[in-house]
Amino acid sequence: MRLVIKIGGSLAFDANGPRLAYLKRVGEVVAVLKKKHQLIVAVGGGQFIRKYLRNVKGKLPNRQIEWIFIELLRANVRLLSFMFGLKPIFDLNEVTKKTTGVVGGIRPGRSTDANAAVCAEKIKADLFIKLTNVEGIFTKDPKKYKSARLIEKLSFGELGKIAEKKTAPA
């Protein structure tokens, strides 16, 4: 089976950095899965990176801030690649039907959710699992909009279109 697991940054990283106990538990699951399945793990930024970016916002051009965001996400990728024994992926052109690894930020204007969806399409994933602190994917941010509706079912292509919507770091 081909799997993509997206770990929300809010689960993996708090304001002080990595939540190592949580990541260790996820790593135990990854260790079991990677023995029998092709696996790509995608990771977000979390509070630590958001706090970092809030401190530089307005002091640098947005494009430069986005590149800083990507570099910080790459540190998260490197950490998880060491913890999970998977190859870090820093270029989506490296992803083929046989790729196994960890991916995060790749280029400005694209979220880690979008990168996870692209990976799912490229490897023809059988299953996309998103670990998050909300109950699913919504039409809008449910923390900000009462009109947000839970989307019951999505194809990888539909997920990619939602995730591709213009986003800015933090």
Residue 152 binned pLDDT confidence (cut-offs 50, 70, 90): confident
* Span 61-72, average pLDDT: 93
Q: Which residue segment(s) compose the domain that 12 sits in?
A: 2-164
The DSSP bridge partners found for residue 129 are 5
Mean pLDDT of 149-170: 69
* Cα(85)–Cα(80) distance, integer angstroms: 8
Q: Is 116 left (phi over 0), alpha (psi -120 to 50) or beta?
A: alpha
Please indicate, yes or no, whether the overall pTM of this predicted structure exceeds 0.95.
no
- Whether residue 22 contacts residue 143, with contact meaning beta carbons closer than 8 Å, is answered with no
Structural domain contains residue 104: yes
Q: What is the CATH number for 83?
A: 3.40.1160.10
pLDDT of residue 156: 65
pLDDT tens per residue, range 88-107 = 999 999 999 999 999 999 98
Q: How far apart, in whole angstroms, are the C-alpha atoms of residue 43 and residue 27?
A: 13
Residue 96 lies inside a defined structural domain of this protein: yes
CA 89 to chain centre: 12
Q: Name residue, tokens 């909009």.
A: 145
84 lies in some domain: yes
Taking the CB of residue 108, how many other CB atoms lie within 10 A of it?
A: 16
pLDDT at 166 over 80: no
In a domain, 12, yes or no: yes
Q: Are 152 and 31 in contact (CB under 8 A)?
A: no
Q: What integer pLDDT is reported at residue 163 of this predicted model?
A: 64
pLDDT of residue 102: 97
* Angle formed by the axes of helices 46-56 and 62-84, nearest 10°: 160
pLDDT (tens digit per residue) in 127-142: 999 998 777 778 887 8
Q: Is residue 169 in some structural domain?
A: no
In a domain, 170, yes or no: no
CA–CA separation, 87 and 80 (whole Å): 9
Token readout for 41 is 């793990």
Number of domains present in the structure of the chain: 1
Residue range 45-69: mean pLDDT, rounded: 92
**Res 108: pLDDT:** 86
Band of the pLDDT at 37, cuts 50, 70, 90? very high
Residue listed under structure tokens 């009462």: 146
